[in-house]
Chain A
Amino acid sequence: MATQSARHIISLLMENESGALSRVAGLFSARGYNIESLTVAATEDQTLSRMTIVTTGSEAVIEQIIKQLNKLVDVVKVLDLNDGKFIERELMLVKVKATSAFREEMKRMCDIFRGRIIDVADGSFTIELTGSGNKLDAFIESLDKAAILETVRTGASGIGRGDRILKV
């Protein structure tokens, strides 16, 4: 059942209980599924956690992932965002060298990507940037590797467009 592998963003709601995250992470490692990123936090309803998992796999593998997630007793709902229109956002913080010669250049790059400088120190800036994973990748690519001191990314969060709503 091998077909082409594609990137999928899966959203799920599960009971906000201790160990919930490890059930999902354990499922992925036990069955050999990819996890590109996984984010989790409680929703406005504190009894529920919302998770966004970015994974890659063939149609058949993605179908199995969705079924296996649904099978977890704590999982309330699962949605493959790629089944419809959706928005994906990720937050990245990048600390870059900003010695006098570089400072203007860094500010300019930051503007082009609509980032914000949120910390300024003697020799460095910390830039905050949100967008799709691709946009964040593009920003990193466009920087001089030697200028990057540190990066941290949250992993993607996703939400359906319009009236595509994942709720209990």
Chain B
Amino acid sequence: MGKSMEKSSKKITGAEILIRCLHEEQVEFVFGYPGGAVLHIYDAIFHQDKFKHILVRHEQAALHAADAYSRSTGKVGVALVTSGPGATNAVTGIATAYMDSIPMVIISGQVPTYAIGEDAFQECDTVGITRPCVKHNFLVKDVKDIAATMKKAFYVASSGRPGPVLVDIPKDITADLCQFDYPETVQMRSYNPVTKGHLGQIKKALKLLSEAKRPMVYSGGGVVLGDAAEHLIKLIQALGLPITSTLMGLGGFPASDKKFLGMLGMHGTYEANMAMQECDVLLAVGARFDDRVIGNTVDFLSKPRTIIHIDIDPASISKRVKIDVPIVGDVKSVLADMNELIATEKPQQNTVALNAWFEQIKTWRAKECMNFAQSDEFIKPQYVIQKLHEVTKGEAFVTSDVGQHQMWAAQYYKFDQPRRWINSGGLGTMGVGLPYAMGVQFAHPNAQVACVTGEGSIQMNIQELSTCAQYHLPIKVIMLNNRYLGMVRQWQEFFYENRYSESYMDSLPNFVKLAEAYGHVGMQITKPGDVEAALKEAFAMKSRFVFMDFITDQKENVFPMIQNGKGLSDMILAEDL
């Protein structure tokens, strides 16, 4: 007892306090990059070994890596950057995490309190710049506030609808002395997120769902982030409902299950989009009816249907589409309550209608919208993903960048588990792929991690090949190299009469040599017949980072496709062309 009293009454620096807070929060990894304003903090890191600091090559990558660590584990991701350019470099990463509701704590250094406002060296208004893209942020003005602020930061980031929280700490504060006392609980009169859903609403929802003639479930990223997959599966099995998922929700329900209609939305399947449009009762779980998912609202609302919406964020409800039965609450808890009700009340279902509905869905499925023309000459990007799925037995963590390759990865890698599919859905940030793979591999050192990318996207954070070398990360980069900013080219083909303005990727490096220059294995694959063997060879190199440059069919497009602003049933299928 004497010892602990002595410990708590001892004064330590703000930097040391900060480190102790991270220890209290059981942080395993801090992704960061040093600089003047955080030197005291880095010195304190030097003196500890409870968490590992990962030195990236660009602050944006630190944010993405911490973000993916969180996406793949459910824990809070932590990043540390210096003031000024360190903070501005981090902004893209913060905004990316914010759009996808990822819990993160970002610590940024700031110029000393006495210099704030004087345009000091490496000063910027970090709190002001990040305000619109964080869940919350703090500027710590007194060493006494560090511990309580950090406690709040972790609590706010991970509760309610999660999101990134930034803590800006001026340099002098990290040198000031204070006792360390980490609060055990947080009380914030202004912040009390709801968790339990309203039981009356849940009952009403269940009644609607069981009586529905054409029920449909639309599941989103909230199911993954809320760790509700198990409960969702139980609900779907109990009621025998068809289900689709958003890009962010993939893996929240097993893709291999017969009730799964594939992804919906702009590049969703014919059957998923038609069922969304034609259903009479729609249950949305942890999804937000965004423009890439339901297209234009007028078209969506032209069909009558009753909509039930479960979401942790009241502001997500009735934002774009009026909701008939809103249920505000943690998806996991609401689905658990619903399953309990089903078990006790054994609701009567309209089986005749339900069977007819599945027959209808079968006719949509018969379109086989995901078929693509194979080629002996060119490597089809879809084929690479199919083979990737086979070779990794569907068990890999797959990160992706943004573009056509992202859509093919989402469409053809059939995710059966949550938190395996890691991509930037909301902000659509090119450059996330490689740092995402790093964050995942740190969290799961023995897992297979594949980064599906394009030759455009990979170059946005290519410097991280160095980080991967330093930490011996055995990531496999699957680059679908079409020599185009493919997604841009696809839009130009459809909407700008093939005027490929600035969408050709010229002067590409020799990626094999580039990978080798960093000490990695590089492979180039040009023939369809070599795809499978190459993938097997790469994944057999369990301890090596392998960069696979697949030279793919340049003109391949992503189908089905709903043109921007059109309605869900307005799909262009590959066969239409």
Q: A-side interface residues toward B, CB under 8 Å?
A: 1, 14-15, 18-19, 22-23, 26, 30, 60, 63-64, 67-68, 70-71, 73-76, 168
Contacts and interface: CB of A to CB of B under 8 A. Distances in A.
Given A73-B135, A73-B156, A67 B315 contact: yes
Nearest to A30: B132
B314 A67 contact: yes
Given A19-B128, A19-B139, A64-B315, 20 more contacts: A1-B297, A1-B320, A1-B322, A14-B190, A19-B131, A23-B131, A30-B132, A64-B319, A67-B314, A67-B317, A70-B314, A71-B313, A73-B136, A73-B156, A73-B190, A74-B136, A74-B190, A75-B190, A76-B189, A76-B190
A30 B189 CA distance: 26
Contacts of B128: 19, 22
A67 B316 CA distance: 9
Given A26-B132, A71-B313, A60 B190 contact: no
A73 B191 contact: yes
A60 B322 contact: yes
Contacts of A71: 313-315
Interface in B319-348: 319-322
Residue of A1, A18, A73 ringed by the most chain B CB atoms within 10 A: A73
B318 interface: yes
Given A60-B322, A67-B315, A168 B131 contact: no
Contacts of B127: 19
Residue of A14, A18, A67 ringed by the most chain B CB atoms within 10 A: A67
A30 B134 CA distance: 13
Contact of A68 (B136, B315, B320): B315
A40 B135 CA distance: 23
Interface string B112-139: 0000000000000001100110011001
A26 B190 CA distance: 18
Nearest to B190: A76
A64 B319 CA distance: 7
A78 B313 CA distance: 16
A14 B132 CA distance: 18
Contacts of B321: 1
Per CB-CB distance, the 6 closest pairs between chain A and chain B, nearest first, are A67-B315, A73-B136, A76-B190, A73-B191, A67-B314, A30-B132
Interface in B297-320: 297, 313-315, 317-320
A63 B139 CA distance: 31
A73 B319 CA distance: 19
Contacts of B156: 73
A57 B313 CA distance: 21
Contacts of B190: 14-15, 73-76
